[in-house]
Structure 1
Amino acid sequence: MPEEDKPTDARARLLSHFSAAQGTTEHGQKWNELWQQNFLPWDKGFPSPALVDLLSSPPSSNSSKHPVLLPIRSAKDQKRRLKALVPGCGRGYDVLLLAAHGYDAYGLEISEKALEEAKKVEKEKGGDKIYSTKPGVERGTVTWLSGDFFHDGFLKDVEGEGKFDLIYDYTFLSALPPVMRPAWSKRFNELLAPEGRVICLEFPTYKPASTGGPPWALPPKVYLAHLPRPGEDLTYGEDGELLEEKLGPPSKSGLVRIAHFQPERTHEIGYNAEGKVTDWISVWAHP
């Protein structure tokens, strides 16, 4: 049984803490309270191994229409560095990793305390080997953003237009109650640049939806339902399971999944008792 599925004091505390939080404002405040209390059971202390591997050696896509899994500069825009956004970045490990791979990386947090911690990590561990650049790669900038992902206020501190070439989601969607998923899918669609990529490390895929959250159960079908239907309210059963038979056709403007695979490595929490990876990676693009 994965660690996250085992009853623990930490899990009970999380369930209790968020039991009445539904709206974006109240939900964000609840996360900020945990940061202020230094209660961070989700913090692993280093970037996701799955993202490390993807950035270092991206696998090939089987799609002939979208063969490139990571965003590339257009021929007329070679001088501009690509921009990456990590919403709900926490201590910012993945932000620093993206900067090391040449992205101008933005870490967004609703919690000021979380951003304080991220800046400490950048100062104390930003020179660690895992954040070293490859030969020929120019390190990107790191910018910490304070704000709500679902509102535009933070975009004033983003260089250029308010669009990102890469948006990375790992444990961000799993932190949001299901009622916020339509807004999540709409926002990803709005913030992704025309030739950009959304990368989702899908977790937790193994737990039943009836156990609640956070983290909320996220089998691949949840991503496959919401991202192609930005902003749509989808139907869930009383047990929290998505009712796939109730889905309408995808939106013409919705994101398209161009790749779906299991990483060779992930955080320890993403393995089952037999040592098998339970996480998935999905890569999305505009049609």
Structure 2
Amino acid sequence: MTTPTSGTQGIQAHLAKYQGDSYVDGWASLWDKGDDLPWDRGFPNPALEDALVQRAGTIGGPLAQDAQGQSYRRKALVPGCGRGVDVLLLASFGYDAYGLEYSAAAIEACKKEEKENHSWYRVRDQTVGKGKVTFVQGDFFDDAWLKTIGVPRNGFDVIYDYTFFCALTPDLRPKWALRHTELLAPSPAGNLICLEFPRHKDPLAGGPPYASPSEAYVEHLSHPGEKISYNAKGLVNADPLREPSKAGLERVAHWQPERTHTVGQGENGVIHDRVSIWRRRD
């Protein structure tokens, strides 16, 4: 569910009509119109590609062995996957990759993208091969789509969140964080990769995309399902003495990527985006 940083007034006005859980209908209607999709970057974010290469020791490779010593492909999920570019990238690295979208039109766009066979979806390691690609229509917060693809809760080894967090109104963030704890595999196998964007936007400017500083990810993922207060400047009220929830996620890596989309950069190419990796505390 990717979003632009400029020229969004029309989209913002449109989505303002869809409050609370009905936000999904607002996004779906934009896909159904299909005439103005300015959030689509057209290719995977290079920060994800670099993370899969440079942080493989943390994330884990696409292949693993079960208790019986049988090899299997690890599962990766991209919620709000848009045109599916990141799903196809993950599959090119060898993961069985799943893309979730609420809109039927978006799912069709994903399937069209898959047929394009762009060079950035090339198989990265011939000994590993390409993973299976599955696009599924459904609501991130509902379990029906899990049943459709036959994956249980806590069944995803990798979840990638780029412009899903910032597309949600801040009041949905507790629910977003809690849902990740329900979908992510136990630690250390399960890793949530967040490409934090837009960190540099004025929190009072509204959205989408809503300002998403690193502190917001920390507070919500450390206390999933709990209401997090925001101050008059639109920033989270972070209490350094507050204990993280035992049911929450912990950040195991955090860095500035060497490359990212131009929307995550400031003047002179200064990179504002950050990448974080999270695991369940249990």
- TM-score exceeds 0.5: yes
Tell me the secondary structure at the aligned position of residue 225 of structure 2: coil
Secondary structure of the residue aligned to 1:84 is: strand
Q: How many residues align?
A: 271
* Residues in 1 aligned to 2:172 and 2:200: alpha-carbon distance in whole angstroms: 21
Q: Which amino acid aligns with 1:88?
A: G
Question: Among 3, 22, 29, which residue is 2:25 paired with?
Answer: 29
Q: 2:144 aligns with which of 153, 171, 177?
A: 153
Instruction: Tell me, in whole angstroms, the C-alpha distance in 1 between the residues paired with 2:224 and 2:112.
Output: 36
1:138 and 1:120, CA in 2 relative to 1: closer, same or farther beyond 3 A? same
Corresponding residue for residue 50 of structure 1: 47
Residue number in structure 2 paired with 1:174? 166
Question: In the aligned structure 2, how far is the partner of 1:85 from the partner of 1:203?
Answer: 19
Structure 1 stretches of 4+ moved >6 Å: none
> How do residues 201-212 of structure 1 correspond to structure 2 at under 5 angstroms?
201-212=195-206
2:190 partner SS? strand
- Would you say the 8 A contact 1:260–1:283 is kept in 2? yes
1:192-271 matches, within 5 Å, as: 192-194=184-186, 195-245=189-239, 248-271=242-265
Alpha carbons 1:85, 1:168 under 8 Å: kept: yes
Identify if the C-alpha distance between structure 1 residues 160 and 211 changes in structure 2 by more than 3 Å, giving closer, same or farther.
Answer: closer
| Unaligned runs of at least 5 residues, structure 2 | none
1:246-274: CA deviation from partner (whole Å, max 9, x where unpaired): 98321012111000001100001111012
**Mean Cα deviation higher: 43-52 or 133-142:** 133-142
Work out whether residues 52 and 59 of structure 2, in 8 Å CA contact, stay in contact via their aligned partners in 1: no
Counterpart CA distance in 1 for 2:193 and 2:176 is: 14
Q: Are the counterparts in 2 of residues 234 and 247 from structure 1 also a CA contact under 8 Å?
A: no
Q: Percent identity?
A: 46
Q: Aligned partners of 2:10 and 2:17: how far apart in 1? A: 13
Amino acid at match of 2:95: Y
State the AA in 2 paired with 1:54.
A
Q: Deviations over 1:116-166 (max 9, x none)?
A: 111111112xx3221111231221100111100001010012244331000
Structure 2 residue 12 is matched with structure 1 residue 15:
yes
Q: What's the TM-score once normalised by structure 1's chain length?
A: 0.89
- Equivalent in the alignment of 2:97: 105
Amino acid at match of 2:272: T
The answer to whether the aligner puts 1:141 opposite 2:132 as a matched pair is yes
